[in-house]
Amino acid sequence: MTAPMRSYLRAFAIRIAAGIPVVLLVTFLATALSDLMPGSAAQAILGEFATPEQIAQLNAAYGYDLPAWQRYLRWLGGAVQGDFGVTLYSQQPVAEVLLARAAVTFEIALAAMLLSLAIAIPLALAMAARAGSRIDGAFRIAASAMLAVPTFVSVVVLSLLFSITLRWLPATGWVPLFEDPLENLRHIALPVLCLSVHQVAYFFRVARNEFLATLQQDFIASARAKGFSTPYILWRHALMPSLPQILTVMGLSLTYLLGGSFIVESFFAVPGIGWTVLAAVQDHDLAMVQAILCLTVAIFVIVFACVDLGYALIDPRLEVR
Amino acid sequence: MADPVLLDIAGLSLSLPSPAGDLQILNDITLRLERGRTLGIVGESGAGKSMLIRAILGLASRRARITGAVRLDGQHLGALRERDRRRYLGARVGVVFQNPTAALNAYQRVGPQVSESARVHRGLTKMQARELAISLLDRVGIPDAASCHDRFPHEFSGGMKQRIMIASALAVEPDLLIADEATTALDVTVQKEILDLLQILQQETGMAMIQVTHNLGVVAGRTDEVAVMYGGRLAETGPTPQVFAAARHQYTAQLLAAVPSLDSPPDRDLRSIPGQPPDRLIGITGCPFAPRCHAADAPCADRMPVLRRDPAGHGAACHHPPQDVPLPEQAR
């Protein structure tokens, strides 16, 4: 292993370690706050005709009556060993269920991310080179319009178009990737498209402005004076210096996408994290809620550690520490 | 024998449309530069020096209206398609800009930046490009050039970065090197080193050079010809020794008088030209310097003086040259 490689890994480990207190704080607060949720888990399980004795019995059995800090320590003791408890109804291990759901969300998130970048970045480069032209103005207006469309509208419009009218894509449901890759692709297409509406517009705006700022720099003028073509200058000289800013918004977007979109996942009945957390909150499935929170915070910590290292990889002036 | 004239600028004017009317950025510039010679272009900020360079290089804004002709090596640049002009100039002209820290791409290693234009315009292989970059870095005085090839710009000082920029401008063995305020951002001692380097390189390669500057000291001993610009026009032009010895434009005379001398008494105020250069270049029919000129009278404000050159090429656009109306004595 080379020396820079080792220092990158070390820097990554330091950033992950620094994120641990954040994870602890958020999960503890979640435990404490569950006391404030209307209704109780025991009530939810036993139904509205349960006697106080039955409820007390169940509370004692699950430890729901313990003070928050004791419940938290119990949870933490299990969590560090990979045991996040069992789901409330099906009594399956939470970790196992959540991992399967997370795989679904991650697949959609990554696909949406790649699709959005593949559209937005080349377009932003092309428009930054023609900044102020009519076509640039048209794309900027289109991007603003796309950002203004709420997700609950885009899911309806896109599924009306692609599955009801054109009948190209299934409206709902899910087929795992390894069961039938082609069917899987058809099923993720609509959720990915819906998530990409905002992402494309967002990346386009940020990247276009960033490229535009880079194109005003002196080293671009020297490249022009050397007689290089505009496409060459855009790819070879303008792209890299604009990446740090784009990387930042990619990080923000990724944490949002990996957390799962409630609206998109529930509309298309995709069994991902967003769909699961909605069900878990309604069911008072505290173990599941807690595990999802823990996962979401962990994603934040990991993504931003990666973004931080990304800066250092892109910009030779930065040193990893 | 090839035509000795390398760069021929004939009646070049450039205007930019604006809501208030057309801004006359450049007005009827006529200049010639012979092979191997050095031309100094001097003027205050806003005099049009940089726009002149941009117009020569075809880098002016797309909205700019350009009339007149620029010929390089006999080739009328305006007659070329944009792509052809870009390639033609890229392979014949090197440019060094003012701020080397900003003019180098901080994200790329210096070696590839030095050889880049030769790679693009001459199709060098990676190995050839590397050899070329190292030899150029060595030539501009970068110590241990081979190991510097793979370093990044931020690892060098300002003066070293400017040397790297010069090396990159030399990669195509240009006929013409344009130094656009190339030493303005550097320490005074480093300025001299860079100017000396440029002179040595010019002697070695026989290339012509344009020194754009607002520093008369840069022009004084180092150029063959000088062009003094004011308000987008050529105020005076001619062989440098003659212009410095006997300025024929009041602006040039004032500029030269403003240069502090070691002989002047220490308690004397520094001489300056009162007023500001024109900022709105719209609807000026007379001499642009008239509002600041002690010799100006009514016709100066109305009628643009014509620049006439004597056989030596020395000429000025001034109704009342300093020979007729001497500079006022300086107030203590």
List the domains of chain B with CATH numbers. Answer: 35-50+84-316 (3.40.50.300)
Q: Whole-number mean pLDDT of chain A?
A: 88
Residues A301, A18: Cα–Cα separation, whole Å: 9
Does B86 contact A232 at a Cβ distance shorter than 8 Å? Answer: no
State the pLDDT confidence band at B7, using cuts at 50, 70 and 90: very high
Query: Which of A47-51, B175-179, B188-192 shows the lowest per-residue confidence on average (mean pLDDT)?
Result: A47-51
Return the higher-pLDDT residue of B264 and B116: B116
B272 CB within 8 Å of a chain A CB: no
Q: In sequence order, what are the residues at sequence separation of 6 or more whose Cβ sits closer than 8 angstroms to the Cβ of residue B269? A: B330, B331, B332
Q: For residue B163, what are its two tokens?
A: 């040397």
Residue A189 lies in a domain: yes
Highest mean pLDDT, choosing among A151-160, A232-241, B280-289: A232-241
Which of A116-130, A177-191, B80-94 is least confident?
Answer: A177-191
Asked whether residue A46 is assigned to any structural domain, the reply reads: no
Q: Under the phi-then-psi rule, with left for phi > 0, alpha for psi from -120 to 50, and beta for the rest, what region is B103? A: alpha
Q: Are B84 and B167 in contact (CB under 8 A)?
A: no
- The reported pLDDT for the residue numbered A70 is 86
Q: What is the pLDDT of residue B214?
A: 86
Q: Note whether residue A78 is domain-resident.
A: no
Q: Note whether B156 contacts A: Cβ–Cβ < 8 A.
A: no
* pLDDT over 60 at B332, yes or no: no
Closest CA in chain A for residue B95: A225
Span A164-171, average pLDDT: 83
CB pairs < 8 Å spanning A and B = 68
Whether pLDDT at B281 is above 70: no
3-class SS letters over chain A: CCHHHHHHHHHHHHHHHHHHHHHHHHHHHHHHHHHHCCCCHHHHHHCCCCCHHHHHHHHHHHCCCCCHHHHHHHHHHHHCCCCCCECCCCCCEHHHHHHHHHHHHHHHHHHHHHHHHHHHHHHHHHHHHCCCCHHHHHHHHHHHHHHHCCHHHHHHHHHHHHHHHCCCCCCCCCCCCCCCHHHHHHHHHHHHHHHHHHHHHHHHHHHHHHHHHHHCCHHHHHHHHCCCCHHHHHHHHHHHHHHHHHHHHHHHHHHHHHCCCHHHHHHCCCCCHHHHHHHHHHHCCHHHHHHHHHHHHHHHHHHHHHHHHHHHHHCCCCCCC
Angle between helix axes B158-170 and B110-122 (nearest 10 degrees) is 10
CA-based nearest distance A129→chain B, Å:
12
Confidence (pLDDT) at B322: 87
Does any CB of chain A come closer than 8 Å to the CB of residue B173? no
CA proximity to B313, closest of B226, B210, B220, B235: B226
Q: Chain A contact for B80, CB < 8 A?
A: no
**Two structure tokens written together for A261:** 């979109």
- Give yes or no for B122 touching A (CB within 8 A): no
Helix or strand holding residue B242 (H, E): helix B240-245
- B114 or A85: whose pLDDT is higher? B114
The pLDDT value recorded for residue A250 is 93
The CATH code of the domain that includes A250 is 1.10.3720.10
* Among chain B residues, CA nearest to A232: B120
pLDDT digits (tens, 9 = 90+) for A289-310: 889 999 999 999 999 999 999 9
pLDDT in tens, A234-261: 999 999 999 999 999 999 999 888 877 8
Distance CA B187, CA B281 (A): 33
Residue of B nearest to A220 (CA): B103
* CA-based nearest distance B193→chain A, Å: 22
Contact residues of A toward B, CB < 8 A: 217-219, 221-229, 232, 237, 240-241, 314-317
C-alpha–C-alpha distance, residues B145 and B148, integer Å: 5
Query: Cβ separation of A219 and B121 shorter than 8 Å?
Result: no
In angstroms, the separation between the Cα of residue A311 and the nearest Cα of chain B is 12
Residue entry with tokens 């941009």: B54
A219 and B120 within 8 Å at the Cβ level: the answer is no
Label residue B140 by pLDDT band (50, 70, 90): very high
CB contact under 8 A, A237 and B89: no
Closest listed residue to residue A270, CA positions, set A151, A199, A188, A158 = A188
CB-CB under 8 Å, B152 with A217 = no
Report in angstroms the alpha-carbon separations of B208 from B99, B185, B222: 22, 23, 12
- Asked if the Cβ–Cβ distance from B165 to A222 is below 8 Å, we say yes
More confident residue, B222 or B3: B222
Predicted confidence (pLDDT) per residue in B25-42, tens digit: 999 999 999 999 999 999
Verify whether the Cβ–Cβ distance B108 to A228 is below 8 Å.
no
**In-domain check, residue A195:** yes
- B152 with A317: Cβ contact below 8 A: yes
Give B226 to chain A, closest Cα distance, Å.
Answer: 23
Which residues from A are below 8 Å from B83, CB to CB?
Answer: 229
**Is residue A62 assigned to a domain?**
no
End-to-end Cα spacing for chain A: 18
Note the pLDDT of residue B330.
Answer: 63
Q: Inform me whether the pLDDT recorded for A169 exceeds 70.
A: yes
Q: Is B107 in Cβ contact with A314 (below 8 Å)?
A: yes
- A223 contacts in chain B (CB < 8 Å): 105
Q: Does B61 touch chain A (CB under 8 A)?
A: no
Number of folded domains that form chain A: 1
Q: Do A222 and B86 touch (CB under 8 A)?
A: no
Residues of A in contact with B116 (CB under 8 A): 226, 228
Query: Which one of A218, A225, A315 has the shortest CB-CB distance to B107?
Result: A315
Residue B300: pLDDT band (50, 70, 90) is confident
Residue B26 has phi, psi (to 5 degrees) of -130, 140
Nearest chain B residue to A227 by CA distance is: B90
B/e letters for B121-152, b = 16+ CB within 10 Å, e = fewer, are beebeeeebbebbbebbebbbbeebeebbeeb
Contact state of B107 with A221 under an 8 Å Cβ cutoff: no
Q: What is the reported pLDDT for A8?
A: 85
Average pLDDT of the residues of chain B: 89
Among candidates A219, A229, A316 on the partner chain, residue whose Cβ is nearest the Cβ of B152: A316
Q: What span, in angstroms and rounded, lies between the C-alpha atoms of A148 and A145?
A: 5
**pLDDT, tens only, B205-238:** 999 999 999 888 888 889 999 999 998 999 999 9
In a domain, A7, yes or no: no
Does A225 sit within 8 Å of B106, measured CB to CB? no
With beta carbons less than 8 A apart as the criterion, state whether B287 and B306 touch.
no
Other C-beta atoms lying within 10 Å of the C-beta of residue B94: 26
The helix or strand, by DSSP H or E, that contains position B179, with its residue range, turns out to be: strand B176-180
How confident is the model at residue B226, as a pLDDT? 95
Nearest chain A Cα to B155, which residue?
A317
Q: Determine the residue of chain A that is closest to B115 in CA distance.
A: A226
Do A217 and A241 meet the contact criterion of CB atoms below 8 Å apart? yes
Q: Which residue of A has its CA nearest to B92?
A: A226
Residue B280 has pLDDT above 70, yes or no: no
pLDDT at B45: 84
Report chain B residues whose CB lies below 8 A from the CB of A219: 102-106
**Cα–Cα nearest to B286, from B303, B269, B308:** B303
Structure tokens at A41: 């888990």
Label residue B114 by pLDDT band (50, 70, 90): very high
DSSP reduced 3-state for B233 = strand
Structural domain boundaries enclosing A163: 94-314
Residue of chain B whose alpha carbon sits nearest to that of A316: B107
To the nearest 10°, report the CA torsion of A81, A87, A93, A99.
-90
User: Terminal CA-to-CA distance of chain B, rounded, Å?
Assistant: 57
CB A66 within 8 A of CB A286: no
Residue written as token pair 């270049």: B281
Q: Kindly identify which residue of chain A lies nearest to residue B174, measuring between CA atoms.
A: A226
Report which DSSP code applies to B231. T
pTM of the entire structure?
A: 0.83
Tokens matching residue B112: 């590839």
Query: What mean pLDDT is predicted for residues B18-28?
Result: 87
**Are the beta carbons of A219 and B83 separated by less than 8 Å?**
no
At B314 the pLDDT is 94
Rounded average pLDDT over A259-266: 83
Instruction: Identify the bridge partners of residue B12 per DSSP, sorted by sequence position.
Output: B29
Q: What is the pLDDT of residues B40-51, one digit of tens each?
A: 999 888 888 989
Question: Has residue A32 been placed in a domain?
Answer: no
Longest dimension (CA), chain A: 85
Answer whether residue A36 is part of any domain. Answer: no
CA-to-CA distance for A302 and A300, rounded, in angstroms? 6
* Helix (DSSP H) and strand (DSSP E) numbers for chain B: 12, 12
